[in-house]
Structures are given as C-alpha cells and as structure tokens.
C-alpha cells in the first residue's frame, strides 16, 4: 500500500471513530467488576462465552471468594461449581485459582501492569492482557480483537486479514494509540447494536456512507 493510500485509510478511520463516538459517547467494557483482579477473572471467564452470561455468574463468584487470597486457597472444584454455567468451566476454574496464586506469590498481590508479566499468568493471553491493561489501568498496549472487532474491521475495509493478530497490526497502523482502548469498545458496541453477523442494519447505520460493505447488505429497491 502506498503512503498516500495509507494516509487516506487513516483519515477514513478517524472519521469512522468520530461517528462511533457520537453514537456511543461512553464506551467501556460490559463486564462488571469492583477491582482489577475481578476484571481479570471476568475476562478469563468471557472466553467463548458472552458478557451477559459472565455477569450472571460473577456476583455469586465474588461473594463466595471475596478476596484474592480466597481464590488462591480455594479448591478448583469449589470455583468450578460457581462458574458451572459458563463454557469451559473446568479449565477456567484452574486458570483463576492458579493466576490468583501467581499474583500473590510472584507480584506481591497486585495484578501486574506490564503485558509481558500479565501473559505469564495462567489462562492469560495477549487479548486478555490488553483488556485488563486498558479497562483496569488505562494503558494502551494493543487493540483487543474479538469476533465483533474482527467482523467490523473487515466490513469497514480497515483490514482484509483473518487472524486476530494480523487484524490488530493493521488497526494499530490506522488508529492513534490514544484511541486504541476506546476503539475496541466502540466496535463491540456497534457490532451488538447494529452490525450483527447475519443481518446488519445498514439502513440505520451512521457509518453506511463510509462503509464499503453497506451496499452488500442493503436491499435493492
């Protein structure tokens, strides 16, 4: 891609962000939490599950284990019972218990603020770490690419890639670093509200004039 073409793409991305911010003025994660470690565990639970489901489970989970130490000393089976309705409960229960122990033993009881440290925790990859750093600490280390972000990035012509890692790299070249955290939330909110996987509501979409996919999904008159 030529430098001029890249600049035009960045300009269009900036316009898309501006429109999305008008539509969703307070973008943030839908997960409920009262501390950074609770956020971490909620994000671990959200893998291959919905935020709605996770938010149904976490109130009871956090009452049952009110401190990080309580999670670290719990039996995996006890945690698993509390999260049984969430997919992959056995492996997630182990990840939560072991990551709690690691935070206490290796990081002095504080969730680490560096991506390289976070991904050392059980059950934590780059995506989970980026969510925690962004929502928990306001630190921009990357752009979180979930199914909504991946789908909308392709539809909006911001990336033609298929893997989350490749899409993230493309987006990081187009979006100013100061906007990385909000950008993921904006696309997730828009994906849920209008740009669904099967029936996007292009006729009601404020991005339709800038979206190369709008004509594909808009019924012909």
Catalytic residue numbers, as ranges: 127, 146
H/E segment holding residue 155 = helix 147-155
End-to-end CA distance of the chain: 35
Alpha carbon 48 to its chain's center: 12
Rounded (10°) CA dihedral 60, 61, 66, 67:
-170
Short-list 124, 140, 146, 127, CA closest to 37: 124
CA angle 179/183/189 to nearest 5° reads 150
Which two three-digit tokens encode residue 107? 């990081």
**Alpha-carbon Rg of the chain, whole angstroms?**
19
Short-list 162, 164, 116, CA closest to 144: 164
Tell me phi and psi for residue 219, to 5 degrees.
-60, 140
Short-list 72, 61, 24, CA closest to 39: 61
Tell me phi and psi for residue 162, to 5 degrees.
-115, -30
């Amino acid at each position: 891609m030529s430098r001029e073409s890249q600049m035009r793409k960045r300009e269009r991305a900036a316009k898309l962000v501006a429109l999305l911010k008008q539509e969703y003025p307070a973008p943030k994660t839908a997960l409920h939490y009262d501390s950074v470690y609770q956020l971490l565990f909620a994000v671990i639970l959200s893998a291959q599950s919905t935020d709605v489901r996770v938010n149904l489970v976490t109130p009871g989970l956090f009452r049952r284990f009110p401190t990080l130490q309580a999670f670290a000393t719990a039996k995996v089976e006890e945690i698993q019972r509390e999260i049984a309705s969430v997919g992959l409960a056995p492996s997630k229960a182990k990840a939560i218990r072991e990551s709690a122990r690691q935070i206490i033993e290796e990081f002095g009881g504080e969730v680490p603020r560096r991506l390289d440290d976070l991904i050392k925790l059980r059950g934590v990859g780059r995506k989970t770490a980026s969510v925690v750093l962004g929502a928990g600490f306001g630190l921009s280390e990357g752009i979180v690419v979930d199914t909504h972000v991946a789908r909308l990035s392709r539809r909006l012509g911001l990336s033609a890639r298929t893997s989350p890692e490749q899409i993230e790299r493309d987006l990081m070249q187009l979006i100013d670093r100061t906007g990385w955290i909000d950008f993921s939330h904006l696309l997730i909110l828009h994906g849920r509200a209008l740009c669904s996987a099967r029936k996007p509501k292009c006729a009601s979409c404020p991005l339709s004039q800038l979206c190369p996919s709008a004509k594909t999904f808009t019924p012909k008159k």
